Structure 1
Amino acid sequence: MWPLVAVLLLGTVCGGSAQLTFNSTRIVEKTICNETVILPCIVSNLELRKLKAMYVKWKHKGKEIFTFDGVDNKFNSSDDFKSATIAFSHLTEGNASLQLKASDAVPGNYTCEVTESNREGEIIVELRYHMVSWFHPKENILIVIFPILAILLFWGQFGIVTLKYKSNCTSEKTIGLIIAGLFLTVVVIVGAVLFVPGEYSVKNASGLGLIVIPTVTLVVLQYCLFTTAFGMTLFAIGILILQFLGYILAVIGLSLCITECSPTQGPLMISGLGIIALAELLGLVYMKFVASNQKTIPPSRSN
């Protein structure tokens, strides 16, 4: 009877207490914005809490990528995971989490094995790649819609000028406006194609630049339309000033967002693009109002 009890007690001591347990997540997501990736490995029942009693081994798909031997106080990382390291000062607290550069953090299953004297345990952590959009989906829509809307409003103004103010618009000026308008339209469409959808990349950043920067052309084109139709009035000057201020805001927002993987100044840039579109709308309404109140347009006199 007593020998059986002794065997059971010995089995409990060797089997139950010899097993290290872990208190950490088993799934980690990596995005393009990560500079480093931390794979958690937290032991919850250390007893000795001495660095010399610790031994840590990390494996990726069964291949050893990092080891730490507390007896010799030495660590080693494989050639494919040179950036692999752990916070040695936190190891006695049970934290054997592996830190990697994002370039070394290959998605897949990682195994953390921890040994404390004669007690050991392991945990498998899965690293996944999560694709995220550079801007919020709603911001993506507004960034593309506002410049395209502004261009459409420009073509509306151009139609009024060519129909109502034919005598004031020479063929050379008309061709120039058409060429400039078509060029701007093509550039913005190409920029929109490069910009969405997608993560932060050189391609997307280039697309955003092609959307925002050329919109200054709209200020010049609207000025040409005003001067061609009825000259510069105070209201027309106010519209141009408003449009230029919108462009300044858009460019400032662009400069703050273009190098950020997770941009926070998107609303500033969108506000600028929205003001540009608003100015084009006001210009169209004003031009339509003036044109409807002019019964005849006297031909321009040549000196």
Structure 2
Amino acid sequence: MFVAWKKQGIVLFSFDGAQQRVYRHETVPSANLLSQQDLSKGTASLKLKSSEAEDGNYSCEVTELNREGETKVDLRTVTGRQFDFMESVVISVLLFLIVVFYWAQIGVIALKCETVHKNKTYVAVGCAIFTVLAVIAVVLFIQGGNITINKVGLGFVVLPAVILMVLQYYIFKIVLVDVTRKGYILIGLQSFGFVVALVGFALCISACPSELLSVVIAGLAVMAFEDLLALLYMYTSCSRMKDHQTPRKAVEEPLNDAKGVMLE
């Protein structure tokens, strides 16, 4: 098998399978086959440093015995923003809403639930950590000019979201002592949203330029909706617990007064 990569008729790289001989043009000293073992399977891709890859029309010619074929590739360098600006704004807004809904749940627990539980501190710390990561994500993700930084920012948007499912579980444990069926349904809905966002992130990283942010947006939207439902669920649950405790105090006060009268 013989493989030759050319640019505008000039051979940049060639591989002679019969003699196991490799030729590289002086302008691309890092050029090499992506996988020599997979060459017999039809993979004749070329890899080289990005600093040596100039924009232009490339062609790959493969000859095997009496068969030959040619593939043409148009290489263009992507500069500036990797992701669409408006979609980036939507993702940032959804991330902001998720953070707000979680802090609101913690606020509801602090104001309406009188029971003191050490896990409250753990939940607050976990939420604070996620908030810091969310701020870093937005700063890295929404700015333009560097594709790698944008991808890292998107990773900070999606990957730390796994913390939210743990936080949600502990929030339910604090208020309800034991997680109910509704609680598990809400956590399952959040997990589904996370998986969708994670798949979208994987697709966005592999695509260039990215056109699959809508999948990430869909996953984050499901998570934000679940957080809103969880906030309402926590509010109603804490209100019922407080209402249930109020009559007990009303009964205890007359009893205490009666006891005082009897002592006199």
TM-score (norm 2): 0.61
Query: Which amino acid in structure 1 is aligned with residue 147 of structure 2?
Result: S
**Matched residues, percent identical?**
29
SS in 1 for 2:207: coil
User: Which of residues 245, 251, 257 is equivalent to 2:192?
Assistant: 245
User: Which of residues 86, 94, 98 is equivalent to 1:150?
Assistant: 98
SS in 1 for 2:81: coil
Q: What do the CA deviations read for 1:180-202 (whole angstroms, capped 9, x no partner)?
A: 11111101111211112225632
Higher helix share: 2
CA 1:81–1:228 in 2, change beyond 3 Å: closer, same or farther? closer
Offset, 1:291: 2.6
User: Which of residues 195, 206, 230 is equivalent to 1:283?
Assistant: 230
Offset, 1:166: 2.6
Query: Which amino acid in structure 2 is aligned with residue 163 of structure 1?
Result: L
Offset, 1:234: 2.3
Task: Say yes or no: does 1:205 pair with 2:154.
Answer: no
Offset, 1:226: 1.2
User: Which of residues 181, 185, 189 is equivalent to 2:131?
Assistant: 185
Cα distance in 2 for partners of 1:130, 1:211 equals 22
Pairing of 1:100-111 with structure 2 (within 5 A): 103=51
CA 1:235–1:149 in 2, change beyond 3 Å: closer, same or farther? same
Aligned residue in 1 for 2:87: 139
Offset, 1:233: 2.4
Aligned residue in 2 for 1:195: 141
User: Which of residues 147, 165, 189 is equivalent to 1:219?
Assistant: 165
Q: Which runs of 5+ in 1 are unaligned?
A: 1-37, 40-77, 83-100, 108-128, 299-303
Cα distance in 2 for partners of 1:165, 1:241 equals 25
CA 1:272–1:200 in 2, change beyond 3 Å: closer, same or farther? farther
Aligned residue in 2 for 1:266: 213
Query: Which amino acid in structure 1 is aligned with residue 217 of structure 2?
Result: I
Q: What do the CA deviations read for 1:221-252 (whole angstroms, capped 9, x no partner)?
A: 11111121124222222111110000011111
Cα distance in 2 for partners of 1:221, 1:102 equals 42
Q: What do the CA deviations read for 1:87-131 (whole angstroms, capped 9, x no partner)?
A: xxxxxxxxxxxxxx9746889xxxxxxxxxxxxxxxxxxxxx984
Larger radius of gyration: 1
CA 1:136–1:254 in 2, change beyond 3 Å: closer, same or farther? same
CA 1:260–1:293 in 2, change beyond 3 Å: closer, same or farther? same
Offset, 1:292: 3.0
Query: Which amino acid in structure 2 is aligned with residue 269 of structure 1?
Result: V
Aligned residue in 1 for 2:262: none
Q: Which runs of 5+ in 2 are unaligned?
A: 1-6, 9-24, 30-48, 56-76, 246-264
Cα distance in 1 for partners of 2:152, 2:144 equals 12
Q: What do the CA deviations read for 1:250-301 (whole angstroms, capped 9, x no partner)?
A: 1111111123221232111110011111100011112212333343465xxx
Conserved? CA contact 2:193–2:221, under 8 Å? yes
TM-score (norm 1): 0.54
Offset, 1:81: 9.3
Aligned residue in 2 for 1:67: none
Give aligned pairs, total. 191
* RMSD over equivalenced CA pairs, Å: 3.5
